[in-house]
C-alpha cells in the first residue's frame, strides 16, 4: 500500500467534542472503481455522500497502537457521484480514552496525549484507466460534530439538532457548520498494517421484554439478556428534549437499578433531540448491560414505551461452529451463557468483561478459554491478530504482560497469565491446523521460556516473583483474592507445561528442540523433588493434568477424595477450574465430574443459572444465596473464563476430541461418556474438514449413540475401540456398563 495521504488533526483543540473531518470533491469522468483506505487515532465513522461506509463498528479496532495500527479498505464504488462529500467523525475510542480503573497506566496516559488524528485516502480509478487520489492533507477542513462527548468507559453525548438531516427521514447523523482549517502532523505511519482481525459488527437486535418501575421509582428497560453493544432509540420529540440512559447488568436485592460493580465507568449516554420522528444509536462507544435506566425522556421516563428501544448486539464477526443441547434445561442455559459470554467479550480483543472501568485483554482469561472459544466459533482470525499484538508487546527479555494490548507494562509477568504465550498458539494450531501461524508465534513461545529461566530464584523451577496464583480460588485465605495453592507450585507447573508445548511445537515445525527436552526433564525432576505432596484441589489437578506427579493416578485419586470430603464441591479458581472435570474424567471419575457439572447449589456452574444468570459470572457467588452481592469492587456478571467448562462438554460428555497428530480435526477420537442423570445429549462441531456430531440417549436399558464424522475417526464406546470412516454410525451399550 502506497500512501499519499498525510496525517491531519484539527488546527484548534475541540475538547470533548469529536471533530468531523470533511472533504468535498467533483468528479468529471466516469468512474470504474473507488476504494477508501482509512484509519484514525481513536475510533472513526466515515460517510460518503451521507451514507455510512462499511459495517465496521469501532474501527480501526484495538491493537498495540505504539507498534501496530490497522487501516481498513472499503469499496465505495457505488457511493461516489459527480459531486461528493467525504465526512469522518473521530472519537477517542480505545486509543485516547482514559482508563479510570487503571489510571497508573503510563502507556495509556501517553496515548491520551495524541491528537484526534485521521489518515484517509480515496483512490478513484476512471473508466479511461487513469487514477486520482483524494487524500487527507491541509485542503481538508473540520468542524465540531454532533458527538459532543465520546469515551469507551463513560459513554456518549449526541446533539441531533447539530446533525445533517434535521428533516425527518434523512439517515445521516454527521454534523454541519462552516469548515475550519486542519493541519498536518507526523502521525504513526511506520506502524500501519492492513486489517488483520475480524471486523466488529452489529450482530443481533433484541427487543425489551418489558419496562418496569423499581421500588425507588426508577423506570427501567429489561432486555432479558446481558449483552455487549448499545441501545437504539426511536421516538417523536421536540428540538432540545433529551433522552438520558444509564446501563446496568443486574438489579439489587430489592429489585432496584445497580451500577456499583461498574466502579468508575459512567456507562451513560445522552441524546438531545431534534424536531420530529428520529432514531439514534451511539456511534463511537459501547456498553455491557442487560438493564437500561431511563433518566430523562420527553414527557418523563414513564412516557417511554418498549417499542422506543432496541438493544444492538456487537462483537467480532466470527462464524458460530459449536452447538450443544441436552435434556437438562439448566445445563442448556449454562451453555447459552457461555456463548453469550464469548460474544460479549470478543470485541476485537478477548476482554475479561465488557462493562466496568477495565475491559482489558487479560492473558490468563484468554488461555483458559481458548480451547472452548475455538469450538464455539471460528476464532482463528480473531486470535491471530491478538497473538500478533502479544508478540509485538513481548519484552526483549521475553516478558509477556497481564493484558494484551499491554497497557500495564510496568508490572512483572505472572505464571498462568504470561503462559498464554505458549498455550494460545498451540491451541490455535490444534484447532485449525495452521502450521504457518504456529511458526509465526514460535519465537514468542521460546522467548517466554527464556523469561522464566532468567527470572527464577531456583534453577529448573519458577520461584519468587509476583503472581496471581489460583485467582479467586474458593479456598483463599480471608482477605485474599488468591486461592491457597502455593504460587511457586503453580508457576513451576506452568513452567513445565509451557516448555512441553514448545517441544511439541518444535516437533511440528522441524526445529531442534534438544535444549527444551533437556530443560523439561530437569524441570519435572526438580518439581517432583520440591513438591512431593499436594495440599489443594488445584495442586492435585496441575500435578495430574500436566503429568508432573510421580503417580498421576494417585494425584487424581487425592483430588476425587478432596472433592468428596467437602461435600462434592470445587474449591478451585482461575488456574484449577478449567482442568478439574478433565482431570477427574481422565482418571476414572467421570461420574464425579458430572456431579460437579450438574450441581445446582453454590459453588457450581449451575448456581448462577438458578439466580437468573444469562452470561458467565466472575464469581461463583456474584449474587449470594441471600440475594446480596459478593462485593462491589470486582463483581462482573459477564466474565467468560469459567465458561471453559464447555470444552469438557464437547470433548468428554460429547466425546469429540482433537488428536495432536491430526490438527484441525483431520482425524478425530470420538469417545462420548453418558450419565444416567441425563436422558440425552448432543454436540456438534463444524471443523475445517466438515461437521462432526455426537449424540447419545437412553433407549430402554441401553444407550444409543449416533456419530457423524466427515473424516476417519477412532470411536470408543464402553471401553471398546474401533476405527470408522466417514459417515453416520450407530452404536449401543448397556446403561449399567457406563
- Identify whether residues 95 and 154 lie together within a single domain: yes
* DSSP conformational letter for 433: -
Structure confidence at residue 1 (pLDDT) = 87
Catalytic pick from 47, 156, 358, 427?
Answer: 358
With 80 as the cut, is the pLDDT of residue 358 above it?
Answer: yes
Give whole-number Cα distances, 190 to 5, 68, 123, 415, in Å.
Answer: 13, 9, 21, 33
Is 2 within a domain? no
What phi and psi values does residue 436 have, to the nearest 5 degrees? -65, -40
Active site residue 249: no
Q: Measured between alpha carbons, how far is 622 from 608 in angstroms, rounded to an integer?
A: 8
- Of 255, 290, 316, the residue that ends a domain is 316
Does a structural domain hold residue 702? yes
Region label for 588, one of left (φ > 0), alpha (ψ between -120 and 50) or beta (otherwise): left
Contact 254, 215 (CB under 8 A): yes
* The dihedral sign for the CA sequence 329, 330, 331, 336: positive
Express each pLDDT in 571-597 by its tens digit: 999 999 999 999 999 999 999 999 999
Give per-residue pLDDT as tens, 180-210.
Answer: 999 999 999 999 999 999 999 999 999 999 9
Same domain assignment for residues 166 and 246: no
Angstrom distance (rounded) from CA 411 to CA 386: 20
Q: In the structure, what pLDDT confidence band is assigned to residue 660 with cuts at 50, 70 and 90?
A: confident
> Same structural domain for residues 326 and 440?
yes
Whether residue 410 is found in the same domain as residue 556:
yes
Examine residue 727 and state whether it is found in any structural domain, yes or no: yes
Q: Tell me the pTM.
A: 0.97
**Does 163 have pLDDT greater than 90?**
no
Q: Which three cell numbers stand for residue 336?
A: 447459552
Q: What is the CATH number for 241? A: 2.60.120.260
Same-domain check for residues 165 and 137: yes
Burial class (CB in 10 A: 0-12, 13-18, 19+), 34: buried
**Residue labelled with grid coordinates 430402554:** 700
**SS3 sequence of 179-230:** CEEEEECCCCHHHEEECCCCCEEEEEEECCCEEEECCCCCEEEEEEEEEEEE
DSSP state string for 40-84: ESSEEEEEETTEE--S-TTBT----TTT-EEEEEEE-TTT--SEE
Say if 165 falls within a structural domain.
yes
**What residues contact residue 389 under an 8 Å CB cut-off, 6+ apart?**
63, 64, 67, 68, 404, 405
pLDDT category of residue 603 using cuts at 50, 70 and 90:
very high
Instruction: Give the span between the Cα atoms of 539 and 489, in whole angstroms.
Output: 7
Residues of the chain with pLDDT > 70, as a percent, come to 98
pLDDT at residue number 738: 46
Residue 176 pLDDT class (50, 70, 90 cuts): low
Round to whole Å and give the CA distance between 493 and 547: 9
Phi, psi of 384 (to 5 degrees): -60, -45
The pLDDT tens digits for 425-443 are: 999 999 999 999 999 999 9
Strand, coil or helix: what is 626? Answer: coil
**Three cell numbers, residue 118:** 485521521
Q: Per-residue confidence at 727, pLDDT binned at 50, 70, 90? A: very high
Q: Give every CB contact of residue 533 below 8 A, 6+ residues apart in sequence.
A: none
Residues 598 and 719 grouped into a single domain:
no
* % of the chain with per-residue pLDDT over 90: 94
Say if 658 falls within a structural domain: no
Nearest to 73 by CA among 36, 40, 108: 36
Instruction: Clarify whether residues 360 and 471 are in a common domain.
Output: yes
The yes-or-no verdict on residue 612 having pLDDT over 80 is yes
CATH number (domain holding residue 679): 2.60.420.10
Distance CA 48, CA 465 (A): 54
Confidence of residue 102 (pLDDT cuts 50, 70, 90): confident
Contact in structure between 269 and 154 (CB atoms under 8 Å): no
Q: Which domain holds residue 731?
A: 664-737
Contact between 549 and 543 (Cβ < 8 Å): yes
Domain end, chosen from 160, 180, 197, is at: 197
- State the average pLDDT over residues 521-543: 98
CA distances from 663 to 83, 195, 427, 689 (A): 54, 27, 10, 10
What value does the CA radius of gyration of the chain take, rounded to a whole number of Å? 27
What's the whole-number average pLDDT of the chain? 96
* Cell, residue 455: 527470572
Pairing of strands 69-75, 192-194: parallel
Please answer whether residues 632 and 261 qualify as being in contact, where contact means their C-beta atoms are separated by less than 8 angstroms: yes
Residue 736: predicted pLDDT = 77
Cell of 628: 446480596
Does 618 participate in catalysis according to the annotation?
A: yes
Q: Are residues 38 and 107 in the same domain?
A: yes
Considering the domain architecture, whether residues 97 and 130 belong to the same structural domain is answered as: yes
Cβ atoms of 683 and 693 within 8 Å: the answer is yes
Kindly state the cell numbers that stand for 613: 444468570
Picking from 197, 221, 250, the residue at the C-terminal end of a domain is 197
Residue 716, domain member (yes or no): yes
Residues 400, 430: one domain? Answer: yes
How far apart (Å, rounded) are the C-alpha atoms in residues 74 and 88?
A: 14
Q: What is the pLDDT of residues 664-713, one digit of tens each?
A: 999 999 999 999 999 999 999 999 999 999 999 999 999 999 999 999 99
Give me the mean pLDDT over the 346-366 stretch: 97
Tell me how crowded residue 224 is: count the other CB atoms within 10 A of its CB: 14
* Predicted confidence (pLDDT) at residue 173 exceeds the cutoff of 80: no
Q: How far, CA to CA in Å, does 51 sit from each of 85, 120, 176, 310?
A: 10, 17, 15, 22
For residue range 262-314, list pLDDT tens digits in order: 999 999 999 999 999 999 999 999 999 999 999 999 999 999 999 999 999 99
Distances (CA, A) of 281 to 133, 287, 295, 623: 32, 12, 17, 31
Asked if 547 and 694 sit in the same domain, the reply is no
Enumerate the β-bridge partners of residue 479: none
Q: Where are the alpha helices (DSSP H) in 261-376?
A: 329-345, 363-376
Domain contains 340: yes
Contact yes or no for 662/681 (Cβ under 8 A): no
Find cell 484468554 and name the residue. Answer: 366
In the set 249, 487, 504, 618, the catalytic residue is: 618
**Residue 1 lies inside a defined structural domain of this protein:** no
pLDDT number for residue 175: 55
| Count of the separate structural domains present in the chain | 4
Task: State pLDDT tens for residues 27-55.
Answer: 989 999 999 999 999 999 999 999 999 99
**688 shares a domain with 581:** no
Amino acid at each position: 500500500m502506497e500512501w499519499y495521504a498525510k496525517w491531519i488533526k484539527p488546527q484548534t483543540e475541540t475538547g470533548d467534542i469529536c471533530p468531523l473531518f470533511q472533504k468535498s470533491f467533483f468528479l468529471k469522468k466516469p468512474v470504474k472503481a473507488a476504494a477508501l483506505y482509512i484509519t484514525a487515532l481513536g475510533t472513526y465513522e466515515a460517510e460518503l455522500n451521507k451514507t455510512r461506509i462499511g459495517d465496521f463498528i469501532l474501527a480501526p479496532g484495538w491493537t498495540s497502537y505504539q507498534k501496530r495500527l490497522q487501516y481498513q479498505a472499503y469499496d465505495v464504488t457505488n457511493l461516489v457521484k459527480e459531486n461528493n462529500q467525504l465526512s469522518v467523525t473521530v472519537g477517542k475510542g480505545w486509543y485516547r480514552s482514559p482508563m479510570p480503573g487503571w489510571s497508573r497506566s503510563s502507556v495509556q496516559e501517553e496515548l491520551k496525549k495524541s491528537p484526534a488524528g485521521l489518515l484517509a485516502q480515496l483512490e478513484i480509478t476512471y473508466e479511461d484507466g487513469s487514477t486520482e487520489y483524494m487524500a487527507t492533507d491541509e485542503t481538508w477542513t473540520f468542524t465540531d460534530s454532533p458527538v459532543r462527548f465520546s469515551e469507551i468507559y463513560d459513554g456518549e453525548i449526541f446533539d441531533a439538532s447539530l446533525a445533517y438531516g434535521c428533516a425527518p427521514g434523512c439517515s445521516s447523523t454527521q454534523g454541519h457548520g462552516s469548515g475550519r482549517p486542519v493541519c498536518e502532523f507526523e502521525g504513526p505511519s511506520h506502524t500501519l498494517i492492513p486489517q488483520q482481525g475480524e471486523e466488529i459488527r452489529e450482530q443481533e437486535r433484541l427487543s425489551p421484554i418489558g419496562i418496569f418501575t423499581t421500588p425507588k421509582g426508577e423506570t427501567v428497560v429489561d432486555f432479558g439478556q446481558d449483552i455487549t453493544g448499545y441501545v437504539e432509540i426511536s421516538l417523536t420529540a421536540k428540538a432540545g428534549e433529551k433522552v438520558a440512559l444509564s446501563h446496568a447488568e443486574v438489579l439489587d436485592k430489592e429489585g432496584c437499578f445497580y451500577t456499583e460493580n461498574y466502579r468508575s465507568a459512567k456507562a451513560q449516554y445522552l441524546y438531545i433531540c431534534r424536531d420530529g420522528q428520529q432514531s439514534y444509536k451511539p456511534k463511537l462507544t459501547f456498553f455491557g448491560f442487560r438493564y437500561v435506566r431511563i433518566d430523562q425522556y420527553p414527557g418523563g421516563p414513564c412516557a417511554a414505551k418498549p417499542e422506543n428501544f432496541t438493544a444492538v448486539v456487537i462483537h467480532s464477526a466470527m462464524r458460530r461452529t459449536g452447538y450443544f443441547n441436552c435434556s437438562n434445561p439448566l445445563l442448556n442455559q449454562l451453555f447459552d451463557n457461555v456463548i453469550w459470554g464469548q460474544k460479549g467479550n470478543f470485541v476485537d480483543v478477548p476482554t475479561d468483561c465488557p462493562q466496568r472501568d477495565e475491559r482489558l485483554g487479560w492473558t490468563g482469561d484468554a488461555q483458559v478459554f481458548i480451547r472452548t472459544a475455538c469450538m464455539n466459533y471460528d476464532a482463528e482470525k480473531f486470535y491471530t491478530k491478538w497473538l500478533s499484538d502479544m508478540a509485538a508487546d513481548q519484552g526483549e527479555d521475553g516478558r509477556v504482560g497481564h493484558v494484551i494490548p499491554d497497557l500495564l507494562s510496568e508490572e512483572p509477568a505472572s505464571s498462568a497469565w504470561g503462559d498464554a504465550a505458549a498455550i494460545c498458539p498451540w491451541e490455535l494450531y490444534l484447532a485449525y491446523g495452521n502450521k504457518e501461524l504456529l511458526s509465526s508465534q514460535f519465537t514468542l513461545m521460546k522467548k517466554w521460556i527464556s523469561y522464566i529461566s532468567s527470572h527464577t530464584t531456583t534453577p529448573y523451577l519458577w520461584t519468587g516473583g509476583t503472581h496471581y496464583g489460583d485467582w479467586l480460588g474458593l479456598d483463599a485465605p480471608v482477605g485474599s483474592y488468591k486461592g491457597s495453592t502455593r504460587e511457586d507450585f503453580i508457576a513451576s507447573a506452568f513452567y513445565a507445561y509451557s516448555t512441553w508445548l514448545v517441544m511439541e511445537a518444535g516437533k511440528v515445525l522441524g526445529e531442534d528442540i534438544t535444549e527444551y527436552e533437556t530443560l523439561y526433564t530437569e524441570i519435572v525432576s526438580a518439581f517432583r523433588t520440591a513438591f512431593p505432596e499436594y495440599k489443594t484441589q488445584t495442586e492435585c489437578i496441575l500435578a495430574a493434568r500436566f503429568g508432573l506427579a510421580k503417580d498421576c493416578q494417585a494425584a487424581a485419586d487425592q483430588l476425587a477424595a478432596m472433592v468428596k470430603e467437602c461435600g462434592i464441591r470445587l474449591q478451585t479458581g482461575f488456574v484449577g477450574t478449567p482442568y478439574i472435570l478433565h482431570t477427574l474424567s481422565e482418571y476414572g471419575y467421570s461420574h464425579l465430574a458430572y456431579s460437579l457439572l450438574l450441581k445446582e447449589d453454590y459453588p457450581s456452574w449451575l448456581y448462577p443459572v438458578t439466580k437468573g444468570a444469562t452470561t458467565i459470572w466472575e464469581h461463583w457467588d456474584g449474587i449470594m444465596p441471600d440475594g446480596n452481592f459478593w462485593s462491589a469492587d470486582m463483581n462482573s456478571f459477564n466474565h467468560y473464563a469459567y465458561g471453559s467448562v464447555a470444552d469438557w462438554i464437547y470433548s468428554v460428555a460429547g466425546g469429540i476430541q482433537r488428536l495432536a497428530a491430526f490438527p484441525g480435526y483431520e482425524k478425530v477420537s470420538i469417545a462420548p461418556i453418558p450419565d444416567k442423570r441425563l436422558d440425552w445429549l448432543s454436540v456438534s462441531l463444524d471443523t475445517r474438514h466438515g461437521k462432526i456430531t455426537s449424540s447419545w440417549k437412553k433407549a430402554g436399558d441401553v444407550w444409543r449413540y449416533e456419530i457423524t464424522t466427515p473424516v476417519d475417526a477412532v470411536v470408543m464406546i464402553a471401553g471398546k475401540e474401533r476405527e470408522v470412516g466417514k459417515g453416520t454410525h450407530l452404536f449401543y451399550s448397556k446403561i449399567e456398563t457406563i
